[in-house]
Amino acid sequence: MNTQLLLNERPVGFPSEQVWKLEKTEIPALTDGQLLVKVLYVSLDPAMRGWINDARSYVPPVQINEVMRSGGVGKVVDSKHPKFQVGDHVYGMSNIQEYCVTDGYGWVKVDPELMPLPRYLGTLGMPGFTAYFGLLDIGQPKEGETVLVSGAAGAVGSVVGQIAKIKGCRAVGIAGGAEKCRYVVEELGFDACIDYKNDNVYAGIKEHCPKGIDIYFDNVGGEILDIALSRINQGARIPICGAISQYNNKENVKGPANYLSLLVNGARMEGFVVIQFTHRYGEAAKQLGQWVAQGKIKSREHVEKGIENFYPTFKRLFSGEKQGKLVLQIGDED
């Protein structure tokens, strides 16, 4: 038997517990070319909030009674697929369920000897790739520039700032709370981190970005985006990766009132989703793997346990009660 997390209803504003439901179903027999994955860890990401809206986006919305979408790592427990053997560890769009039957499309093998499995959902997975392409391709950092990143203690932001340092930039983070800021500066090596929950962000940017902002990597939107816009340099780049402050709005998204700063500064704001770069995931995985192995990129995963704990864990994405990549453990190696 399989336990699956299904979308039960569409949320308005912040999702209530009733938005999802657990259901037990039978695991279908494999046909030729399929494999059965026992799901060990699934990735919890702010983007999930978008996937359950009934709106045109870069992927189709999750439908009511469909299994909730998610990336996951697991172990092959049965296979009629030529490329995957029983015992292989794999990453793919497992969705949130104990077992996943798939034709292997988009699935890759991962090595648990090299890295702890949850890291393949973080720094060595989509969030790491998002940071890599978002900073390097969209942001185009040059040595000596100042890179400001919000959500700096998160799965994406933490990697953005560390790549910025590798590229010879000044890296300044924005995060919520003194402990996260300490982590960002002392453990991850950012030059500074502004605590938006306790400090004045405008004053913090003025102090820690004394030469202005060349790249603002935005994960949060809202007021912080507007403040950053007011301090950008000529030719600045603003990769728009997310807008977590706006995802649960019942009313309209707050648009950046200071967007005309782009005009007077000849600057650009550019959105992206990591799947634009699918053909280059191999490059990102290799480079990030090297940097992790060399100790140039550090990361943390915050692991919660049990598919039945999906909802309280999901809430941590928005409350910020986590440190590093948020992962839910669904099953055990055995």
Contact residues for a second copy (CB under 8 A)? 50, 56-58, 221, 226, 240-243, 246, 252-273, 276
**Kind and range of the H or E run holding 327:** strand 325-329
**Kind and range of the H or E run holding 181:** helix 178-182
| Least Cβ distance, residue 267 to a second copy (angstroms) | 6
Nearest-Å Rg of the Cα atoms of the chain is 20
Closest to a second copy by CB, 1 vs 55, is 55
Write the DSSP assignment of 110-159 as a string of letters. --TTTS-GGGGGTTTSHHHHHHHHIIIIII---TT-EEEEESTTSTTHHH
The tokens 């191999």 sit on which residue?
282
What is the distance in angstroms between the CA of the first residue and the CA of the last residue of the chain? 17
| Least Cβ distance, residue 219 to a second copy (angstroms) | 11
Question: In this structure, are residues 307 and 5 in contact, taking their beta carbons and an 8 Å threshold?
Answer: yes
Sign of the torsion formed by the C-alpha atoms of 302, 304, 310 and 312: negative
| Least Cβ distance, residue 229 to a second copy (angstroms) | 9
| Least Cβ distance, residue 164 to a second copy (angstroms) | 20
| Least Cβ distance, residue 155 to a second copy (angstroms) | 17
- Tell me how many helices (H) and strands (E) the chain has: 9, 15
| Least Cβ distance, residue 44 to a second copy (angstroms) | 19
Q: For residue 41, which amino acid is it?
A: Y
| Least Cβ distance, residue 301 to a second copy (angstroms) | 25
The tokens 């709005």 sit on which residue?
249
Closest to a second copy by CB, 48 vs 328, is 48
The first and second tokens of residue 25, run together, are 């179903």
CB atoms within 10 A of CB 264: 9
